[in-house]
Amino acid sequence: MTSPQPGPEAQSLSAIAISVDGLSAAYAGKTVLDNLTLEIRRGSSFALLGPNGAGKTTLLNILSTLRRPDGGSARVAGADVVRQQTEARRSLGVVFQDSSLDDRLTAWENLEFHGLVYGMAPKRRRERSAAVLALVELEDWRDEIVRSFSGGMRRRLEIARALLHEPQILFLDEPTAGLDAQTRVRIWRYLDELRRARDLTVLTTTHYIEEVEGADTICIIDHGKIIAQGSPEALKAQYGSRWLHLTPRDQAALEAIQAARPDAQPLGAHGLALPADDGAMTDAFLATFRDRLVEVRFQDPTLESVFLSLTGRQLRDRADDQHNADKAAGRRGGRR
Amino acid sequence: MNPIVMALRGLYGVWLREITRATRDRAQLIGGISRPLIWLLILGVGLNPYFRGEVYGEVRFVIPYTYLQFLFPAVIVLNIMYTSIQFAVSVIWDREFGFLREVLVSPMPRWLILLGKVLGGATVATLHGALVLILARFADVTLSLEQVALALLLMFILAFGLTSFGVILAARVRSFEGFGVFSNTVILPLYFTSSSIFPLDPALTRAQQAVTYPEWLVFLVQINPITYAVDALRGVLINFNQFAPAMGVGVIVAMAVVFFVVATIDFARQ
């Protein structure tokens, strides 16, 4: 197949890995995506953050050509996800929310299958399979049946498989849900290395705040709409509040501060928290009370507080979530 | 890179996965071996003495085959039917446990994915059918190499059609539990009404069929496509046909084409 030479316009567009234009989707009469428009730069790490049911997975399914949009259009690596499905799929690596490995095959056979289905030549299959297995440190398990793998090992194998055919874009749907913190850190380290080395674009959906701190751009979506987008710092600066946590020297100091700053909130038994967004005011306060404080600490805004102030609710109940993830893993493990 | 080579690699990958999975599934293999043994050893041997054209000591017609010989080709078809239709479980499995998405986001076209899967399932089913061939000597069936080759070809086309049929069932069944019931209510009635365990005409001459068996049964046997598959294999293996020899081959090929096309349409819709 020959593709036409890219014109100047196409060349300037190639810096864009994913573009979504006015995308809409409905499920059983309910709007899941509402006229969504966004652009993702090549080589960036883009995180879609939102509670369950916000439309993240639907968006990912449309971008990976598993579902047709009900309105609007989307392009991945320049290929339209409806009209140029094969081209779009070729440039994508996808890690799904639930395991999509064949657990009656060995790790190596799963990779071999993937390589064959993506039409890779035997030599390249062997080289790439060995390389990605090493990347996720599973070389010692290459001939083990996947059924015997732990959740974390499966996840790593799945990420290795998605990278096997050297995609330009990697989709990660809740990639590290149900993984321990150590594995989560390690996986993100691999992905960041790849991004730098190969200009890989990473699109992640998650409802774990910790997972998006390292992203270049965070896009918070809720009810199928983008409610905020920007770098973690920009979002915190725009929507979060900074606080000054302090411990007065004695009861007299505490009362003096409370008198001077009626907006101070009590913090613990002896502490106080002051809103610290206004730098000049904070400096003035510190200049006055410096000698009467035992401890002073700035509390930067967190994405959690950003999310809270934007949507008016917590991302979701953590304990409940972990419980469900374990339950799902147990059910799969048991039946397979 | 040559797109045809890439497509063939994908096809081989999907086929190979089915074969690898089947060789690791002991239960399926045990079923494939025990089923023909039960049918031939118990039913075949048990009924062998009664398969004669004799009524009250008076010889009515001469039957040139033993019951074991008569039953032998049908047991091959039965083994193929079970394995092929059980293949739907593999399709449901892929769908329920998420593996399907791994192939659906790959650059392979849907119909090619399905072709690979069906070829894989048909290969396994043909091998299960071929297991019965090993028992040929026991059933007093002598086979030339030519007969075996022709039989394997017919078996494969039949397995291809039935495997596609399994995929069509899978698209309509939502659960494993439902499929168990479904497959038994499909396979056994089809098998019993395919003139597999009794000839359509006890005299094997078609002269007295409607007299001997009730019309509804004859009707059921005649509309059952499996009847013609069994007949085609009997033609090849024991040189006996109840229908025109071309008819069996025609029905087997027609099933393969029609079921695969319907299965492709179903699969593309997912």
- Domain span at residue B216 reads 3-269
- In degrees and rounded to multiples of 5, residue A295 shows phi and psi of -145, 140
Q: Do A116 and B7 touch (CB under 8 A)?
A: no
Task: Indicate the Cα dihedral angle B253, B257, B262, B266, nearest 10°.
Answer: 110
> How far is residue A178's CA from residue A153's CA, in Å, rounded to a whole number?
12
- pLDDT value of residue A293: 86
Q: Binning pLDDT at 50, 70 and 90, where does residue B77 land? A: very high
Nearest CB among A94, A109, A119 relative to B10 is that of A119
Cβ-contact A153, A99 below 8 angstroms = no
CATH T-level fold of A8-91+167-236: Rossmann fold (3.40.50)
Q: Do A114 and B102 touch (CB under 8 A)?
A: yes
Instruction: Write the CA distances from B27 to B35, B87, B168, B177, integer angstroms.
Output: 12, 13, 23, 17
Given a cut of 90, is residue B128 above it in pLDDT? yes
B219 part of contact set with chain A, CB < 8 Å:
no
Q: Do A119 and B105 touch (CB under 8 A)?
A: no
- pLDDT value of residue A297: 82
The residue length of chain A stands at 336
Cβ-contact A300, A242 below 8 angstroms = yes
CATH T-level fold of A241-300: Alpha-Beta Plaits (3.30.70)
Find the closest chain A residue to B176 by CA distance.
Answer: A335
> How far is residue A217's CA from residue A228's CA, in Å, rounded to a whole number?
10
Write out pLDDT tens, residues A96-141. Answer: 888 899 989 999 999 999 999 999 999 999 999 999 998 888 999 9
Write out pLDDT tens, residues B36-51. Answer: 888 888 888 888 887 7
Of A212, A224, A168, the residue nearest A194 (C-alpha):
A168
Interface probe with A: pick from B14, B15, B23, B102, most Cβ of A within 10 Å:
B102
Closest chain B C-alpha to A99 CA, distance in angstroms: 7
Write out pLDDT tens, residues A199-234. Answer: 899 999 887 777 777 788 999 888 888 888 888 888
Higher pLDDT: B106 or A198? It is: B106
Write out pLDDT tens, residues A248-262. Answer: 888 888 888 888 888
Domain count within chain B? 1
- pLDDT value of residue B56: 65
Joined together, the tokens standing for residue A159 give 């990420």
B6 part of contact set with chain A, CB < 8 Å:
yes
Cβ-contact B81, B183 below 8 angstroms = no
The domain limits of chain A are 8-91+167-236, 241-300
Closest chain B C-alpha to A325 CA, distance in angstroms: 15
Higher pLDDT: B56 or B71? It is: B71
Position A52: which residue type?
N
Find the closest chain A residue to B112 by CA distance.
Answer: A117
Average pLDDT over residues A52-78: 89
Higher pLDDT: B163 or B242? It is: B163
The sign of the torsion formed by the CA atoms of B62, B68, B69, B74 equals positive
